[in-house]
Structure 1
Amino acid sequence: MDSALPLWFEITSYAVLVAILLFDLFLVVRRPHVPSTRESAVWITFYVSLAVVFGLLIVLVANDSGLSGTELGLQFFAGWLTEYSLSADNVFVFLIIMAQFRVPKKMQQELLMMGIVLALVFRAIFIVLGASLLESYSWLFYIFGAYLVYVAVQQLREKDEHGSGEDNFVIAWLKKVLRVHPEWSDNDRWRTMVNGEKFLTPAILVLVSLGTIDLIFALDSIPAIFGITTSPFLVFTCNILALMGLRQLYFLLGDLVDRLHYLGHGIAAILAFIGFKLVNHALHLNELPFINNGHHVEIVPEIPTWLSLVVIVLTLTVAVLASLARAQREESAK
């Protein structure tokens, strides 16, 4: 199926989404503060509504262009929901990073926002490379699928081991080559004075930590969304809209992450499902000579996008409801 939306729509979409992202960044830098629960909820509602409206626009524009609007719309919503759920699971790691470097509450918003912008740059590179490679080498779907199943198993085995708080090699190296003092300055987020000497604050280390962590996250999320759609435009816009609300999600879910005990299980199930979908898709495109003599394998029908969306929504719903039920039982037992 041709999934190329009109060029004017893609360019306009990128321009509007980037403008909203930059405006959000401007607000954060201009007025650093700790957002209230109400403020976070309002922003999340705005970004979720934006994603819904954008998905409906895709359907309308695609239909007007002679494309399958329903199929492209389903691909967008399934991809966005997958990316958003993975982002929610990553909030716990961000909490560890902020606690490790003792980041002042009022500075967390700005650093998170800068980390999100950095993440989008990294993901754009990954998406362009991934799309071109998958177009040229369909057998990569086997690797992506198998990798996602592996990640799903690891997610189940290590669901309680989000991180030890130890420095990765990049942070350890930066601590050696830069003059970084562990104390934060009240007046300057990047530099501080200690006994008359100038030092960098840990802000640079936090920013690099967020960037490197997102590179690791991208190794899971990018193959996962390519299992839903191979359109670079849909993949990137799903990532933009999922990451846009991540900052507010961090503050809203910060105190709730420990209550969502089964979220990791749900995400593992989604990754395993998409991994199977990728392998099945690879079999339908098979050209490897040692599999069915290089012919396509179509024993199992292709999984339709609407079914992927249903599986993702049901899995997340069950995971969240089961988590809340467990949390309620634990509170009642105290």
Structure 2
Amino acid sequence: MDVSPLIWGLTIVVIAGLLAFDFFFHVRKAHIPTLKEAAIWSAIYVGLAVAFGFFVLWEWGGRYGGEYYAGYITEKALSVDNLFVFLIIMASFKVPREDQQKVLLFGIVFALFARSAFIFVGAAAINNFSWVFYLFGAILIYTALSLLKEEDEEEGEIDNFVIRLAKKWFHTSDEYDGDKMFTVVNGKRMLTPMLLVMIAIGGTDLLFALDSIPAIFGLTQESYIVFTATAFSLMGLRQLFFLIDGLLDRLVFLSYGLAVILGFIGVKLFIHALHKNEIPFINGGEHVTVIPEVSIAVSLSVIVGVLAITVIASLLSPKGKAESTIKAAKANAEHYLDGSYTHDPAEHDRLYAVVAAKEQQIADLPEKFQPDAKERAELDALFARVHEAHGDVSPGGKTL
């Protein structure tokens, strides 16, 4: 695949321009995006990614077009999974709803820089050492197995090493000062929690890159396709967060679907590594071509098929729906009671409406999906506090 320096330059300029546009026209002034705004811009960014795929098809042919689309879909799915972690980080730092856009955009920009570095290092390693395919394959299979394990969903403080150092060596304030990263308290210049949450997001992005870059190198070894598929998968992630915020908890089987996809790509990398084998203790350093390589058409079919099944199963699962309803009820109730979560009256009213709706949905759940007695008591107490704060009447008709 021959990509001229001009095309590389124009591509980087366009991506940088889109990020700058996003900041100056959407993020610079703190606000909560409406559902309509999030939907329109999500569609625009997906449209741009699809249109770029047609450009790849027209300029370099079907093989590379297929590799681009397979890479884009895989990276987009991984990005959606990353949103769960971003949500937990922002909840643990209690980032005000109005300022979450800025945190997300920072995460996207940092991820793009971090993954670009990994891409070019990975490409250089692949070009010089064929055994790297074995390493990438092992990383993906390990990640796939990790996704199948039960994860601790405790949304405690993200207290990683970098954050502890920041708090130890620098003055940090307990309160946010809008979306500022530095503030002055009692005449002292301090870091705000906004800077700390960005450090946490940045550190998390580095870990995500260790999974996503081997995954896309398992689909294509063309640096240009790896870079553009990764970049376009990150574009619009901010808008997508606000669009599917309420839907994220419904994707209860997403981790299993991603585990299948990453495992599949990991095996594909091992097969490719065997075809390129130069390791002396494997077949005497000779290539192993007994097993045919997986075509890009098969890869694309598996990726799309697994994601479709995963999403449909998540949305149709009664147990998954019940669990996500309970989880969403707790999260929205806690956000409503947290006075620092938002200063927008409309968002405050929306949160209350969501809590009231979720409370009724939980009451309507079949008996076998109802929370146990302890969790039920905790939910009732939480709902009572929400209704008391709102000065309203609960769905059961009891004035609080």
Output the TM-score relative to the length of structure 1: 0.92
Matched to 1:309, the amino acid is: L
Please say if 1:48 is aligned against 2:46: yes
Q: Deviations over 1:169-210 (max 9, x none)?
A: 011101111111120124x62233444544221111111111
Report the CA distance between 1:218 and its aligned residue.
Answer: 0.4
Corresponding position of 1:166: 158
Corresponding position of 2:128: 136
Report the CA distance between 1:300 and its aligned residue.
Answer: 1.0
Please say if 1:299 is aligned against 2:299: no
Q: Deviations over 1:124-180 (max 9, x none)?
A: 111110000011001110111011111100101135548754311011101111111
- Output aligned runs, 1:13-28, within 5 Å: 13-28=11-26
Corresponding position of 1:150: 142
- Output aligned runs, 1:1-334, within 5 Å: 3-62=1-60, 69-159=61-151, 161=153, 164-186=156-178, 189-327=180-318, 330=322, 333=366
| Structure number with bigger Rg | 2
Corresponding position of 1:65: none
Matched to 2:282, the amino acid is: I
Report the CA distance between 1:120 and its aligned residue.
Answer: 1.1
Report the CA distance between 1:70 and its aligned residue.
Answer: 0.2
Report the CA distance between 1:25 and its aligned residue.
Answer: 1.7
Q: Report which structure shows greater RCO (CA 8 Å, sep ≥6).
A: 1
Matched to 2:174, the amino acid is: P
Percentage of identical aligned residues: 46
Contact 1:284 1:296 in 2 (8 A): yes
Q: Distance in 2 between matches of 1:234 and 1:164?
A: 38
Report the CA distance between 1:5 and its aligned residue.
Answer: 2.9
Unaligned runs of 5+ in 2: 323-360, 371-400
Contact 1:79 1:228 in 2 (8 A): yes
Contact 1:4 1:231 in 2 (8 A): no
Query: What secondary structure does 1:157 align onto?
Result: coil
Query: What secondary structure does 1:145 align onto?
Result: helix
Output the TM-score relative to the length of structure 2: 0.78
Q: Deviations over 1:292-314 (max 9, x none)?
A: 11111111111000110110000
Matched to 1:107, the amino acid is: D
Query: What secondary structure does 1:17 align onto?
Result: helix
Q: Distance in 1 between matches of 2:279 and 2:312?
A: 43
Contact 1:75 1:228 in 2 (8 A): yes
Query: What secondary structure does 2:183 align onto?
Result: strand
Query: What secondary structure does 2:228 align onto?
Result: helix
Query: What secondary structure does 2:2 align onto?
Result: coil
Report the CA distance between 1:8 and its aligned residue.
Answer: 2.9
Matched to 1:54, the amino acid is: F
Number of aligned positions between the proteins: 325
